[in-house]
Structure 1
């Protein structure tokens, strides 16, 4: 399917008074905000110009009449041809990252969807390997253009696609896993804050690793000196490695995934730590915290998403209260807790409220030291609160 704009685009006309959010920078236009599309019935993923009720141009996006988010904006005002737009967006994203990614780090998010002006597109970089997620019908049409721009800018050894999940299903797309360019690789060794990490492209979550926690792992390392550390929901041991690098005296890491724990052990070896530098526990982190007699100077609580949709929010609130309550009871006097929620449907004030209830339940008086979130390689458009998902708090016992 061609990416080039070879004919006038269809026009999407918004209902009167419904242009405010998109003019304010929100890239999502919901179906109920659209008055009509001319000509009607555009194909899923096709480009459209967006206009207010008077006909004035707002910008350009791609549409999918079958989804609730009917249009996702790519540009405001006059837009160039899609090939030029994609190339400019990726070049701009790379230049931005080069300003703040540390010299001892070669793994980061290169393109963060709407936050980088490419809705539905995620690109994570692991050294000379790029992993692409294409999540929407509109992004699906841009695949070849994305690959061409990445090859031209970075000349990677490999570009892999790992596109799967609920959003693709809603968009009417099947999962798609493929080698888009270069070598077929199943894994690589990347660097984060001077720490080596094994990336498993076949079995790892998402693109292979959770890059959004990079800066928070660095913070954990900075406060881990001489600490007894618990890494709850440790996955492949990123926070554990940071704690060891920061001088922790004891680290216990808990996860339900035997495969993730095995990679965590390999990461220990990669960084020349002895096998017993971390005590790995294969089990449920909440149960472990509730039953352990140990008390910890630093606990990192980073569970998987507990609210995958809006309907899960109430249940998620109860679970976050329970998890944080048992974590706080396992905290040593004067200890620090880093607690996270990685769900769009349970974030911000929801998390603060749950943690306050947990502190009351646990009988602890805690100070809020910092609000935490993803690093600056995960930008969010200022007008797009829906793009925020990772909420974290750094707390200290009084």
Structure 2
């Protein structure tokens, strides 16, 4: 296609032999792979064209010379205007979700950063409310264009931004919360797999709810008929609600957050369940599992990230072993464990290894029924293993 903007963009030239990953679909270009940028010292977030050592065009990305990930690609083999690119990416993301999201669900991830070709941008949809996270300097520059395109495509009641976290700090950005379009909304009711959920935009984690577990909650609900279920680190009770809908005979939910437990109770009421449908425990899930005399037919173990950085990986490994050991000891004979790691800095194979150590410690012989991860509304580029973060295993006692 025509190249309407390349003349105005800086050019990033990669070192010889370093173009393989980006040509293979990895959007992250690290600083050590770059030979030079012409003219030098572009502003943080500025668009650049990316070329191999011979000068051949690879595509377009935005750069931040102050970060280890110096360029994040947003287009391959072309350099469209940013307005054209954003509209095309959002239309593609919406069409994908229309094909894969169940009719009884209006809560899902609409844009998953690099996986949807908009690096640094996350958009979660909760019915007629959109919640956006802008994580990088380049994404900051796209904000007005994204908001305008979302308004045109979806006409939402509100677009809220809740941008915070370690990536923004690395990019030199402060945390930012605002109503970007429409009316101020502090909470809303969304529907996931036919279950109503109350979304708290003022106090909820991330965008207000963890949508990456939606398909795993559906799976849990499908295997719990008549079962005794423990929802460890229950947050707002998503797995507990799925268990009740699936016909579980007993549900215990444990979390250290009194606010999350209160929302979980309100979610019970919202779905017409009595308060006695779930036994809520305000406390530390690991301690509860270690001390309880009860045995469960299904335990869902979904702790928060245990490795905040690569330096935390060894400690996280020990914690995953400890948590899974006590969980396995609390499983009834023939029971099942659905266990997860959402730690970006703890690799999937290391998590599997930790769970194996835990099985040995617990003296349990377990079968692997399924590898688990986020739903298809959280796509990852095939060449971008770094984009994978949620790892799960469904195990069954032999």
- TM-score class, shorter: over 0.9
CA drift of 1:250 comes to: 0.3
8 Å Cα contact 2:67/2:170 also seen in 1: yes
CA distance in 2 between counterparts of 1:347 and 1:199 reads: 30
CA drift of 1:79 comes to: 2.4
- For 1:286, the equivalent position in structure 2 comes to 286
* 1:176-195 alignment runs, 5 A limit: 176-195=176-195
CA distance in 2 between counterparts of 1:245 and 1:78 reads: 49
8 Å Cα contact 2:6/2:79 also seen in 1: no
SS of corresponding position for 2:321: helix
CA drift of 1:100 comes to: 1.1
TM-score for both structures, normalised by structure 1: 0.98
CA drift of 1:6 comes to: 9.3
How many residue pairs align between the two structures?
A: 395
- For 1:112, the equivalent position in structure 2 comes to 112
8 Å Cα contact 1:240/1:251 also seen in 2: yes
SS of corresponding position for 1:266: helix
- For 1:226, the equivalent position in structure 2 comes to 226
* 1:1-398 alignment runs, 5 A limit: 8-398=8-398
Q: Deviations over 1:35-70 (max 9, x none)?
A: 100001100000000001110000000000000000
8 Å Cα contact 1:347/1:390 also seen in 2: no
8 Å Cα contact 1:341/1:347 also seen in 2: no
8 Å Cα contact 1:254/1:280 also seen in 2: yes
CA distance in 2 between counterparts of 1:252 and 1:7 reads: 62
CA distance in 2 between counterparts of 1:144 and 1:388 reads: 28
SS of corresponding position for 2:62: strand
CA distance in 1 between counterparts of 2:346 and 2:392 reads: 11
8 Å Cα contact 1:14/1:35 also seen in 2: yes
8 Å Cα contact 1:5/1:82 also seen in 2: no
CA drift of 1:347 comes to: 3.1
CA drift of 1:7 comes to: 5.7
Q: Deviations over 1:315-367 (max 9, x none)?
A: 10000000000000000000010000001221321111011100000000000
SS of corresponding position for 1:45: coil
CA distance in 1 between counterparts of 2:78 and 2:324 reads: 49
CA distance in 1 between counterparts of 2:113 and 2:352 reads: 27
Q: What 5-or-longer segments of structure 2 have no aligned partner?
A: none
CA distance in 2 between counterparts of 1:368 and 1:347 reads: 18
SS of corresponding position for 2:25: coil
8 Å Cα contact 1:371/1:392 also seen in 2: yes
TM-score for both structures, normalised by structure 2: 0.98
CA distance in 1 between counterparts of 2:343 and 2:86 reads: 28
8 Å Cα contact 2:223/2:246 also seen in 1: yes
CA distance in 1 between counterparts of 2:191 and 2:122 reads: 20
CA drift of 1:308 comes to: 1.4
SS of corresponding position for 2:264: helix
8 Å Cα contact 1:307/1:346 also seen in 2: yes
SS of corresponding position for 1:29: strand
SS of corresponding position for 2:208: coil
CA distance in 1 between counterparts of 2:353 and 2:78 reads: 43
Q: Deviations over 1:156-212 (max 9, x none)?
A: 000000000110011011111000000000000000000000000000000000000
SS of corresponding position for 1:99: helix
- Structure 1 segments of 4+ aligned residues over 3 angstroms from their partners: 4-7
8 Å Cα contact 1:232/1:303 also seen in 2: yes
8 Å Cα contact 1:230/1:299 also seen in 2: yes
8 Å Cα contact 2:109/2:211 also seen in 1: yes
SS of corresponding position for 1:252: strand
CA distance in 1 between counterparts of 2:331 and 2:300 reads: 11
CA distance in 1 between counterparts of 2:346 and 2:234 reads: 21
8 Å Cα contact 1:131/1:159 also seen in 2: yes
